[in-house]
């Protein structure tokens, strides 16, 4: 089973990260797409984001929203095509918007 997480807010970062970690502990595949303020949220917590990457979560950030941000290595800069792929290929999707 694949869980998709869309993060577009700064305020929901803690919940998005906790959900992703819980899903990985349950052995679900996790993919996350960050856009808008969600990209700045990821940049503000590099150690926590790196922990998700180390847990084999796939994280993509909208390249337009991430301009000028220092994201952890392993976070892929992508496009809204990647957003559509997360939505279209996930068995379940949670959007923090």
pTM of the model: 0.96
Distance, CA of 45 to CA of 39 (rounded, Å): 10
The sign of the CA dihedral 18, 90, 70, 47 is positive
Name the maximum alpha-carbon separation found in the chain: 35
Q: What is the pLDDT of residue 71?
A: 97
Q: What is the CATH number of the domain that holds 58?
A: 3.40.1260.10
Provide the domain count of the chain: 1
The phi, psi pair for 79, rounded to 5°, reads -135, -175
pLDDT, one tens digit per residue, over 9-49 is 999 999 999 999 999 999 999 999 999 999 999 999 999 99
| Domain around 8 | 2-96
């Amino acid at each position: 089973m694949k869980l998709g997480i869309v993060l577009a807010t700064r305020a929901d970062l803690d919940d998005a990260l906790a959900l992703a970690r819980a899903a990985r502990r349950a052995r679900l595949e996790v993919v996350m797409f960050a856009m808008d303020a969600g990209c700045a949220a990821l940049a503000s917590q590099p150690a926590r984001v790196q922990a998700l990457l180390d847990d084999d979560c796939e994280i993509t950030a909208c390249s337009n929203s991430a301009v000028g941000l220092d994201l952890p290595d392993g976070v892929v800069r992508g496009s809204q095509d990647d957003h559509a792929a997360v939505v279209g290929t996930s068995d379940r999707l949670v959007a923090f918007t």
